Structure 1
Amino acid sequence: MVKQYTREIIREKFIEMLNERPLNKITVKDIAIACEINRNTFYYYYTDVYALLSEIFQRELQTVIDEYNDTVSWEESFIVAAKFALENRAAVYHVYNSMQREELVNYIYNVSGNVMMRYVEKVSDGISASSEDRKLIASFYQCALTEMVLRWIASGMKGDPDIIIRRIGYLFDGNIELSLKRSAGLNDV
């Protein structure tokens, strides 16, 4: 119980700091002081600040995965992921503009991939599309969504992601199913 509480405090204080200053200006010592723990306690849980950052992104990814179910659209799942970015806008910029940008890119890519693969699998139920084509379709949308989110971050997070994602969903509605049916048609030839 104490271990879980300590980890949570470390994550919370780190995110607070990341909302205030760039990643390269946050040290283990800063985090330890803010958490009122010693540095050895920090190192008991994390090897360094980057391991902490990685864990935060992994937890956020797990949140999206846990909230996704058969009744939730891919758009809803993606909006859940965008919620963290909006609540921690400055922190996201600090990571985006740091040497650890790859952590953020991987997080977005993994969220997009997980959401799209699950959605494609759901839509393909009853359609005899090949496994390779299902993966290809999911990968295409994964890459497109990842790049759109990165562009949104780079442009200052202008525009409501809820509106943007829902509009994308509306504009492309039916395209995944149509692609899956085309794949099934190729299998029949």
Structure 2
Amino acid sequence: MNKENESKLKIKNSFINLISKKGFDALTVTDIARDAEINRGTFYLHYTDKYNLIDLLKEDIMTDLENIFYSEVENENTNIDEIISYNIILKSINYLKENFDLIRAMFIAEGESNFMLSLRNILANLLFSKLKDSAGLDFSNSPIKLEYSIELFLHSIISVISLWIRRNGVETPEEIAEIISISKNIAPKNLISG
């Protein structure tokens, strides 16, 4: 690992370490530099301030998740279940689990709603692009307008992931992927009434 990547890793690890102790508002660049055992100048070589740090960390996470979501997009899927398949969901949840400390830090620093909105937007873009490309899907008989159907679909996925993160990721990625897969096909009232 080169010196630049090593410094960035130390900064990221210090951010993760300190965010749960201090919260984002009280956290300073000096705190991060001291914890990372680097000088402030080294921090400023990579980031303009703590806000730039969080923006770039989030950008990396969202890019990685976008790559996972789009990894199977080339397939000619004509089934809504295949557009966001179990495999894509599982890969995404595994990624979140592997980076759980950073994800939790982002939740704390940015606020749950902002972080989850970014994730929702990636999913929405994927859905809209796939729906546009999937000539075999017919929504003309749906009792709900497509935009509302998609919003309900996205909300169910994001809500499950959000709750899983708030619960400290106690369930396995396989369990969460299965919950999301089941919830895609069952009306909410049927989930509650069994």
The residue correspondences of 1:111-130 to structure 2 (distance < 5 A) are: 111-121=122-132, 124-127=134-137, 129=139
Paired residue for 2:56?
55
1:62 deviates by: 0.9
Q: What is the identity, as a one-letter code, of the residue corresponding to 1:47? A: T
Paired residue for 1:184?
none
1:42 deviates by: 2.0
- Partners of 2:108 and 2:13 in 1: how far apart? 20
The residue correspondences of 1:1-189 to structure 2 (distance < 5 A) are: 5=5, 8-10=8-10, 12-14=12-14, 16-17=16-17, 21-24=21-24, 26-67=27-68, 68=70, 69-70=72-73, 71=75, 74=84, 75-98=86-109, 100-121=111-132, 124-127=134-137, 129=139, 135-170=147-182, 172=184
- Partners of 2:57 and 2:13 in 1: how far apart? 12
The TM-score normalised by the length of structure 2 is 0.63
1:60-91 deviation digits (Å, cap 9, x = unpaired): 11112223223586233333332343234444
Q: RMSD over aligned Cα, in angstroms?
A: 3.8
SS of the equivalent of 2:117 reads helix
1:141-188 deviation digits (Å, cap 9, x = unpaired): 22221122222223343322322323432563599xxxxxxxxxxxxx
- Partners of 2:153 and 2:105 in 1: how far apart? 27
- Give structure 1 stretches of 5+ with no counterpart: 176-189
- Partners of 1:104 and 1:18 in 2: how far apart? 19
- Give structure 2 stretches of 5+ with no counterpart: 76-81, 188-194
The TM-score normalised by the length of structure 1 is 0.64
Identity of aligned residues (%): 19
Change (3 A) 1:61 1:76: farther
Aligned pair count? Answer: 172
